[in-house]
Structure 1
């Protein structure tokens, strides 16, 4: 699970075929646009989330919690034992127990930046509202996104959006091998105080850190 978010980013561009039953759903598009516009208005945000990897055939059910801070196309992800800093030029992956940081150049072709999650539906996906659910007494719309690329590893992304305020409550990624990656937002803070340096690894805070520079 330590590498879960790197895997998650890669998976977002590793999809499967479009199901012919999925047409572009006008109601889904309205909700997705409202959700996207909501988050684009924020200068920055911080979210606490729970991530779960489940597979019945592999007898896997693993969970961890983490925090992600976002400003524009920059992000800082922190989970137990691992931090990822991305200033949209350089990516630092720090492993706490090893006191090691791996440095790579940021490349959009390597996968989806998590800051793009609110716009993922706009290109290469069919989408449809599949059901209404109540979470904490609030009505949510569940929307399935089915990718058009036939060569990718997952066949569906499911978003759960609050109907009243268009907040993204959770999303699930369904792989063809039976694995399901689930992400549930537990707490969300808009327009948090951050600077550009918060998205860069600070070597001074980690004495004797081992650097693996792959740039």
Structure 2
């Protein structure tokens, strides 16, 4: 009986420690999200890297994005993406083409501009990770593990600048061994930008530039 009580006590103590750790991890992510919500807009320059060592795939690209609430204007890999809150306009200059898409409800998407500061809120378990010193910056990592066992994501590591409480890096590891890393190089807030930045000018691309515009059903 004493042995059973001892094992039960250790189990309850361990469960309590894990619960406190999860609460601490989520509280830190909430602090980051609340701080971001206080900005009228955000400008990011970032490095986006995809690695799969089994398949010998290594790809690295620089990009930039303006964010205002859920709206964004992204420049990445020679294309522009404008999300006006309802639709995404993908402008492929090389092909002189614009593809219009409705907003996605895919919960498995994490590294998208609209969800970068909020994706953690649904579908994940939380755990505090390591505190690392990167380029003289103290980065506190939080590990997110999908609740859905069928998710294509194995885990997501969110690195947070301990001083500014801004996201420094997001590292997503897929179950197919693909590692997708987003590293923030520049973080600016409350910039003087025009609302037109988040509006697709159809007359400009259909008329002046004569781009092909398609909107799949």
TMscore range, shorter length: 0.7 to 0.9
Pairwise CA distance, 1:22: 6.7
TM-score normalized with structure 2 length: 0.83
Q: How many residues align?
A: 196
Report the structure number with the largest CA radius of gyration: 2
Identify unmatched segments of 5+ residues in structure 2.
Answer: 1-14
SS of residue in 2 equivalent to 1:61: strand
Equivalent residue number for residue 195 of structure 1 = 194
Match of 1:92 among 89, 94, 98: 89
- The structure with the greater share of residues assigned to helix is 2
> Tell me, which stretches of 5 or more residues in structure 1 are unaligned?
1-19
C-alpha root-mean-square deviation of aligned residues, in Å?
2.1
Q: Cα gap change, 1:70/1:163 in structure 2, threshold over 3 Å: closer, same or farther? A: same
Return the TM-score normalized by structure 1. 0.83
Equivalent residues of 1:22, 1:127 under 8 A apart:
no
Equivalent in the alignment of 1:144? 143
1:32-43 matches, within 5 Å, as 32-43=29-40
What's the CA shift for 1:120?
2.2
Greater relative CO (CA pairs within 8 A, separation 6+): 1
Deviates more, 1:172-181 or 1:112-121: 112-121
SS of the residue 1:108 aligns to:
coil
**Equivalent residue number for residue 78 of structure 1:** 75
The verdict on how the C-alpha distance between 1:22 and 1:147 changes in structure 2, with shifts beyond 3 A counting, is farther
Map 1:41-190 onto structure 2 (within 5 A).
41-109=38-106, 111=109, 114-190=113-189
1:142-187 CA distances to partner (integer Å, 9 max, x unpaired)?
Answer: 1100110122211111100011221100001100011000000000
Structure 1 runs of 4+ with >3 Å offset: 20-24, 107-113
Q: Which moved more, 1:112-121 or 1:137-146?
A: 112-121
